[in-house]
A and B are shown apart, each in its own frame.
Chain A
Amino acid sequence: MPAGEPVLSVRGLSACFRTDLGVVTAVDDVSFDLSAGETLAIVGESGCGKTVTSKSIMRLLPERNSFLSDQSRIIYHNRPRRRAAAKDRLPPGEIELAHADAPTMHHVRGARIAMIFQEPMTSLNPVFTIGWQLDEALKYHTDLSRRGRRRRAVEMLRLVEIANPEQRIHEYPHQLSGGMRQRVMIALALCCEPDVLIADEPTTALDVTIQAQILDLMAGLKARLGTAIMFITHNLGVVAQFADRVLVMYAGRVIESGPVRDIFHRPQHPYTRALLDSIPRAGNRHRGRPLATIEGIVPSLLNLPGGCKFADRCPRRRENCVEREPALEPGPDGRPVRCYYPHHEPRVAEPGGRT
């Protein structure tokens, strides 16, 4: 697939939850494109809708108490592509996923859009061997024979740099460490050659050295397989190193987006800037200074303020901020920003390192 062409287009995505206190809109009118081979980072605090966005795309939100709005469009661009393994059961062209039927989603999930999760310790089924779990995905999405699937499973484990894959496929998840399990999850996600990999905070639960290994592995695999990655994180250090483009979310809304360099050097939204300022940095220059934080907490989705959702915590707040919510419009930089008084000047500090 040629790079640069969108593989996933999200338009006006709104995800709502029915609660005892009424309907809550966890993700409100989110739109973005993901191009082939690109890495898009979605950043924001806890509870800002990152995970709900990713689960909406996979249609993994519980149907019992949640739904996507009628206007939501999630378009997967199915382009013919030579695959070593996966069988092609979807019609070519644009496939709308937000309201797709169950069979379509079964063919998309795992085969075209795959996902890895935050908690490697609990994301694998404890009572089946990892070989069985890889085999299951291959059985759903490929025409490979039993031996072919076995070969492919071993190959995938080798690809994610697991030693002795022939022995490992007979082991159970509890016999592997957290880092190893996340590698297995990556193998599981990539074994059917998906066009899109959604990584929902894949390194948050791991310790720092393992985080680095997993990130290096993902970067290497991305270069090798050309998979577009949607990377969800609150770790901006990881974003700086790993992403091509960034989408900043706050209270279920996109508040700013752009190429990673622009976001780091010329953040327009006060929230983006505050996020960047709160990255801890090493070095004498910063010793003894208190770590910058953002005052306050994310507003409750049950009781959102009428105007700009960030107004309560914003140092640049003026009167009209609380009256009407700003639209996501091109800011001084030309990149979209949801703010009446965006920053014009570049940020002084350099992007933070890996944290």
Chain B
Amino acid sequence: MWSFILRRLLVSIPVYLGIILIVMAALRVSDPVYAYLGKNATPETIVAKRAAMGLDEPFLVQYAKFVGRIATLNFGDETSPDPRQRYESWKYAGQSVGLKLRQAVGPSLSVTIPELMLTTTISVIIGMLCAYFRGTWFDRATMALVVMGMSVSVLVFIVLGQKLAGFSLKDAFGIDWFSPSGFEPWWERPFLAFPGDPAERLWGFIPVASPALAMWRYYCLLPVLIYVVVGVGYDTRFYRAVMVEETGRDHITTARAKGAGRAKIMFVHMLKNAMIPVITRVMISLPFLVAGSILLEYQFRIPGMGKLIIDAIRDKDFPIIQAFTAVFAAVFIVTNILTDVLYALVDPRVRLS
């Protein structure tokens, strides 16, 4: 297996270099410095900026240098005296591209990882139950709900969620659980604490609390739940179709003939066989975990990757766009390899070669 991973990684290198080449060329079709400075810029400032960012060098030199940055994972050091070493964001002087990316990954992942895990678990279970009991009132009612959920715009859920959980819950019941928007790096707080104050204890009496998780819940749980509600609709339909296929397999009849109960048939026999489509779907959405959700991050003012890239595009912040694209492509390639490895782990018929 390790040799397979190594081989796939080696094969991906030329592919990745090609992607970077295309991306860099595409970003230079119209002059990025001119786009950033606008039409009122003097020729001198344009030349100065171009030189400062290394964009006056031949394309292949720029390409080699950028590939070098990726290879050494060095997207700038804001403490360095040399402006080329600093590799600053154009919009935010004094902040390197690397710093901007690092700062944005955490907030994105705090929302997207729990969202994907919850959505997948819930959808697989509901999809499986609907498939197993298809045609019954349970299936029909669930599918009707799912279609309704899918038909309503995400924005409706966001606005409703912010209003109900962020404001009404607090006003009506005094439950201050959800912030309507905002973000703080919750991981910087202690994970475990032993508060003396009974009010801060877990469920009021267990003398353990987690300030970090409490803060995560305050800022992230609401966006997570809203996206779970939206995502479950789409995913349930998909997993139901997958599971309907599985219920009709011959070996399911064999399992029933052996005396296996419903739970065993669903959660052992069907689930393991359905893992390939489940993994496919989860892994396809994995790169977008890193990329964050643009709409959600904007609505909840979460300073994540989605917000970063949209702001960068708006501000013509060239180095950020270039670095973000490179990172995204790398994540895509790695998840593809990971997907093949996972296939082989769940299905003995898949051979890694």
Give the interface of A toward B (CB within 8 A): 58, 60, 64-65, 102, 105-111, 114-115, 117, 119, 122-128, 136-137, 140-141, 172, 174, 185, 188-189
Contact of A136 among B134, B249, B258, B349 (CB under 8 A): B258
Contact of A64 among B135, B253, B260 (CB under 8 A): B135
Contact of A125 among B134, B135, B273, B275 (CB under 8 A): B273
**Contact between A137 and B259 (Cβ–Cβ < 8 Å)?**
yes
Contact of B258 among A64, A102, A109, A119 (CB under 8 A): A109
The contact string, 1 if C-beta is below 8 Å from chain A, for chain B 229-260, is 00000000000000000000111011111111
Pull 13 A–B residue pairs with CB atoms less than 8 Å apart, ordered by A. Answer: A60-B256, A60-B257, A106-B260, A107-B259, A110-B257, A114-B258, A122-B250, A125-B251, A125-B272, A127-B275, A127-B347, A172-B349, A189-B257
Give the interface of B toward A (CB within 8 A): 134-136, 249-251, 253-261, 264, 269, 272-273, 275, 346-349
Q: Which residue of A lies closest to B247 (CB)?
A: A62
Residues on B with C-beta less than 8 A from A60 are 253, 256-257
CA distance A122 to B253 in the complex (A): 10
A149 → chain B closest CB, angstroms: 13
Residues on B with C-beta less than 8 A from A102 are 261
B139 → chain A closest CB, angstroms: 10
**Contact between B348 and A126 (Cβ–Cβ < 8 Å)?**
yes
**Contact between B257 and A115 (Cβ–Cβ < 8 Å)?**
yes
Task: Identify whether the interface residues of B are mostly helix, strand, loop, or mixed.
Answer: helix
CA distance A58 to B273 in the complex (A): 24
Residues on A with C-beta less than 8 A from B264 are 136
CA distance A69 to B107 in the complex (A): 61
Q: 18 other contacts beyond A117-B250, A122-B250, A124-B251, with CB at 8 A cut-off?
A: A60-B253, A64-B134, A106-B259, A108-B259, A109-B256, A109-B257, A117-B257, A122-B249, A123-B250, A125-B255, A125-B269, A126-B251, A126-B349, A127-B272, A127-B273, A136-B258, A140-B258, A188-B254
CA distance A126 to B134 in the complex (A): 24
Q: Which residue of B lies closest to A105 (CB)?
A: B259
Which residue of B135, B251, B272, B346 has the most chain A CB atoms within 10 A of its CB atom? B251
Q: Which residue of B lies closest to A191 (CB)?
A: B258
Residues on A with C-beta less than 8 A from B136 are 64
CA distance A108 to B256 in the complex (A): 11
A191 → chain B closest CB, angstroms: 9
A111 → chain B closest CB, angstroms: 6
CA distance A258 to B263 in the complex (A): 42
Contact of B348 among A110, A122, A174 (CB under 8 A): A174
**Contact between A110 and B273 (Cβ–Cβ < 8 Å)?**
no
CA distance A126 to B269 in the complex (A): 10
Given contacts A107-B259, A141-B259, contact A128 B254 (CB under 8 A): no
**Contact between A140 and B272 (Cβ–Cβ < 8 Å)?**
no
CA distance A23 to B251 in the complex (A): 28
**Contact between A111 and B348 (Cβ–Cβ < 8 Å)?**
no
Contact of A117 among B254, B260, B272, B273 (CB under 8 A): B254
A326 → chain B closest CB, angstroms: 35
CA distance A107 to B259 in the complex (A): 7
Residues on B with C-beta less than 8 A from A185 are 254
CA distance A115 to B136 in the complex (A): 28
**Contact between A125 and B259 (Cβ–Cβ < 8 Å)?**
no
Residues on B with C-beta less than 8 A from A126 are 251, 273, 347-349
